[in-house]
Amino acid sequence: MSKAQTAEIRTKRTKKLRNPDAPFWESKELEEMTHAEWESLCDGCGQCCLIKLEDEDSTDIHVTRLACKLLDVASCRCSDYVNRHKKMSDCLAITPKNVRTLRWLPETCGYRRAAEGRELEWWHPLISGDPETVHEAGISVRSFARSEKGVRESAIARYIIDVIK
Ligand code: SF4
Ligand code: SF4
């Protein structure tokens, strides 16, 4: 591909991102979003609240079906979102700055999709207008997660369901 062709494609991409008629997640840079807009990008799937184990040798990340004890598995929402960082020191805030570095974020995550310039799917509440569609589409952890409460640390590995290389 010639340099001229590359430049033309880049220009088209920039135009698409800056389309003023597009919704905010397609027209704004992540850093330009208001706090409310940023928060609304979360589809409420609860996938990032599953306990993960990192293999120290390979750095593979093993995802379990155990959910953080603050996650309300029925709603897939944090039961104390405002105080989550005080209560759970390892709860990481997803920000425009770090979102591209979090390889364990699922492909479906609204933040990841926006960061990668992908469209939101029909089941995202911003598209459907209904917070239930993320569950109806089988994207959320509602159907398979269980709380980490009562599970011994030595038993966590039994609940591994996926590996991220
Ligand atoms: S994975 Fe992404 S979309 Fe799902 S709950 Fe976590 S931040 Fe929200
Ligand atoms: S503290 Fe809340 S937001 Fe953080 S991992 Fe636990 S349930 Fe998720």
* pLDDT single digits (tens) 70-104: 999 999 999 999 999 999 999 999 999 999 999 99
Could you tell me where the beta strands, DSSP code E, fall in the chain?
Answer: 50-54, 61-67, 71-72, 77-78, 146-147, 160-164
Q: What Cα–Cα distance (Å) separates residue 143 from each residue in 11, 47, 67, 134, 138?
A: 43, 12, 12, 12, 8
Nearest listed ligand to the Cα of residue 91 = 2
* Band of pLDDT at residue 18, cut at 50, 70 and 90: low
Q: Which token pair is 147?
A: 């709380």
122 and 76 Cβ atoms separated by less than 8 Å: no
For a ligand 2 pocket test, name from 76, 80, 84 the mutation site with the most ligand atoms within 8 angstroms of its C-beta.
Answer: 84
> 76 by DSSP, 3-state: which?
coil
Q: What Cα–Cα distance (Å) separates residue 48 from each residue in 14, 86, 109, 154?
A: 30, 18, 9, 21
59 and 45 Cβ atoms separated by less than 8 Å: no
Percent of the chain surpassing pLDDT 70: 89
* Residue-level pLDDT at 52: 96
CA–centroid distance, residue 119 to ligand 2 (Å): 25
For a ligand 1 pocket test, name from 25, 47, 108 the mutation site with the most ligand atoms within 8 angstroms of its C-beta.
Answer: 47
Work out the mean pLDDT of the chain and round it to a whole number. 91
Q: pTM of the predicted model, to two decimals? A: 0.88
CA–centroid distance, residue 42 to ligand 1 (Å): 5
Please, what is the end-to-end C-alpha distance for the chain in angstroms? 31
* Residue-level pLDDT at 21: 84
